[in-house]
Amino acid sequence: MDIVEAVKFPANDVEWIKKMVIGGLLMLIPIVNFIALGYYIKTMRGGIDGKSGLPEWDDWSNLFVKGLLVIIVVFIYMLIPLAVMFMSIGGAAISSIASGDVSHASIGTIIGGSLLSVFLMFIVWLLLPMALSIYAKEDSIGAAFGIGEILSRIKSVIGEYIIAIIVLYALMLIVSFIAVIPFIGWVVMIFAHFYVILVAANMFGKVYAASSA
């Protein structure tokens, strides 16, 4: 993977500034920002198909639906780690109330459950890029939950997949530093965040295209 080219991808489009502004503004508005997530999927499909530029902002109702389905996919994947966390905290709380005391066992349950939940969340965030890539390709929400295919495809391109994840989180870290710039930091961060989203969409789309089930 050419990391420099991957990072430059959005800026290669002749209308990239206009498209960034639209996406950044949409990301600011709750619910409406589903459209921007739909654009993420559209960009990912472009990466899968080998397209060199950003897609057009059109068919907004379809983008909204695709963005909503992204939220649903992420929510379903997060159910297990969140359930583990709530069950451990809730179980410890019930035990403490019943005994009238906060025991070491209750504290251990909370800590253990929290650590397990964090680990499961880490696994989920590793799986999600490939799951969403499969959804982008198949245009079916059910395809995003084919764990066997997800694991098989990740295994087939494990090196590039890990590089893409490292690049993504490195860019997110840089964006977080931008946010602390006085006065203009948060404004720049909004559009920089959307830029990173599109870099990720294209990267993982290309990684998917190189993978095999």
pLDDT score for 3: 87
Tell me how far apart the terminal alpha carbons of the chain are, to the nearest angstrom.
20
Burial of 101 (0-12, 13-18, 19+ CB in 10 A): exposed
pLDDT score for 46: 95
**Structure tokens given for 136:** 């982008």
pLDDT score for 87: 73
pLDDT tens, residue by residue, 54-76: 999 999 999 999 999 999 999 99
- Taking 50 as the pLDDT cut, the residues of the chain under it are none
Specify the residue for token string 């500034």.
Answer: 17
Domain that holds residue 53: 3-210
Burial of 192 (0-12, 13-18, 19+ CB in 10 A): buried
Burial of 172 (0-12, 13-18, 19+ CB in 10 A): middle
Cα 63 from Cα 8, distance rounded (Å): 24
Best CA proximity match to 166, nearest among 33, 13, 1: 1
29 φψ region: left (φ > 0), alpha (ψ -120 to 50), beta (else): beta
How many separate domains does the chain show? Answer: 1
